[in-house]
Structure 1
Amino acid sequence: MLSNLDFSVIPVSLPFILEGLRYSLKLTITAMCGGIILGTLLALARLSGGPVLSRFAAAYVDTLRSIPLLMVILWFFFLIPLVTGKPMGAENSALITFTLFEAAFYSEIMRAGIQSIPKGQVNAGYALGMSYWQTMVTVVLPQAFRNMLPVLLTQTIILFQDTSLVYAIGAKDLLKAAENTGKNYNRPVEMYLFSALIYFVICFSLSMLVKRLQKRIAIIR
């Protein structure tokens, strides 16, 4: 069976694969940045002690963490146009969905990072006359980000792998590009293997980066 494989199609298909990879990376970076920002705000709200903010943040995080990502992607893609009356398109729908969904996971990571900071530093901020939000932004969050950086990157690796799920709504990601190219050249197996190799190389490289960061942070501590 392996003797029937023909990888000569790969050089010809590279422009299409790179186009799909660009979208996958764009989706990953956008969802990571938006998810970390929104997730940090959710973590701060959850730890603020305010009954309304903390309950809302907890409900948001618990709800999204309890629903499969694929289901959220399909719901958003099919239901939002029914509400707004305007189609969003697969790419834009995926960008918004991933950002909102990943925020729930980044929120829990940041909450753990914030809680890892000694309470004495928080009390010192209060003693200097800082408010809760000022203490968090200037004292706690910089240290929490440093402590949680390896975990944040690990979640980003998972996020990059999950971008293949937008295949379900027809977004032109790496997997969709591989499928279309495989159909066009009648070489689906070769193209799926090539896309799997790309996923592996990127994820493995990021995993090595995470390990190096973990060692550096351990030395700083």
Structure 2
Amino acid sequence: MDLSFFSWDLISKYVLNGFYFSLQLTFISTLGGIVFGTLLALMRLSGSPVLAIPATVYVNGMRSIPLVMVILWFFLLVPLIIGRPVGAEYSAIITFIAFEAAYFSEIMRAGIQSIPRGQVYAGQAMGMTYAQNMRLVVLPQAFRNMLPVLLTQTIILFQDTSLVYAIGAYDLLKGFVTAGKIYGRPEESYLLAAVVYFLICVALSALVKRLQARIAIIR
């Protein structure tokens, strides 16, 4: 395969914009997914059927559907409901937050349940309400315990951003594919995209392992 077409001109014109959107989508989806997922986890652990049942149905339902189908459903069906197009980028962001929240919810639920019950009882003995106990005692520890897993899920999320190519969003993969079509090198462009995704994810996985080792020492 001829890779001579690969140059800074190619990167600056076609790839960087897609890379920026992939990073933006990963960052926003991670934050939104953690916030929404934490709420879902608290609902499932609340002990109230009114809160727990809808949250359980949502989490299990989302985890049972391929992400690309959710992306296509939202992109194609929501405009028919609201009467106007949403746009590929906004569709991707909303869909990723809604979908990833189900996975972050399970991570946070495991993190909350990993906190010894004695600490919860100690907070209650000090007169803390349920919300105060969660905010001041449980959640800070749960986030620290689950941080490596949350970051691992974020790496998976970054890989999944390539699926927005199905609705025409200009992500990292789309940038490489566009460059490949313009330069007449489609096979090489897919190969380079795979190499870039691989290098980024391997580097991030190494950082997660180092972080996990540090957290283990702190414990």
* Pairwise same-fold verdict (TM > 0.5): yes
Moved beyond 6 Å, runs of 4+: none
Counterpart pick for 1:8 among 5, 21, 24: 5
**Structure 1, 193-202 or 35-44: larger mean CA deviation:** 193-202
Q: How many residues align?
A: 218
1:177-207 Cα deviation digits (max 9, x unpaired): 1111111110112221222121112101110
Partner of 1:195: 193
Q: How does 1:87-166 map to 2 (within 5 A)?
A: 87-166=85-164
**Structure 1, 58-67 or 122-131: larger mean CA deviation:** 122-131
Partner of 1:45: 43
Alignment partners' CA distance in 1, 2:129 and 2:167: 45
Alignment partners' CA distance in 1, 2:3 and 2:65: 40
1:107-128 Cα deviation digits (max 9, x unpaired): 0000000000000011111111
Report how far residue 31 of structure 1 moved.
Answer: 0.3
Question: In angstroms, what is the RMSD of aligned CA positions?
Answer: 0.9
Report how far residue 130 of structure 1 moved.
Answer: 1.3
Partner of 2:65: 67
AA aligned opposite 1:149: L
Report how far residue 29 of structure 1 moved.
Answer: 0.4
Alignment partners' CA distance in 2, 1:45 and 1:70: 27
Q: Does 1:27 align with 2:25?
A: yes
Alignment partners' CA distance in 2, 1:54 and 1:37: 17
Question: What secondary structure does 1:9 align onto?
Answer: coil
Check conservation: 2:5, 2:183, Cα contact below 8 A. no
1:54-90 Cα deviation digits (max 9, x unpaired): 1111111000000000100000000100110110100
TM-score (norm 1): 0.96
AA aligned opposite 2:82: T
Alignment partners' CA distance in 2, 1:10 and 1:95: 30
AA aligned opposite 1:98: F
Check conservation: 1:126, 1:135, Cα contact below 8 A. yes
Alignment partners' CA distance in 1, 2:173 and 2:114: 38
Counterpart pick for 2:77 among 76, 79, 86: 79
Alignment partners' CA distance in 1, 2:126 and 2:55: 28
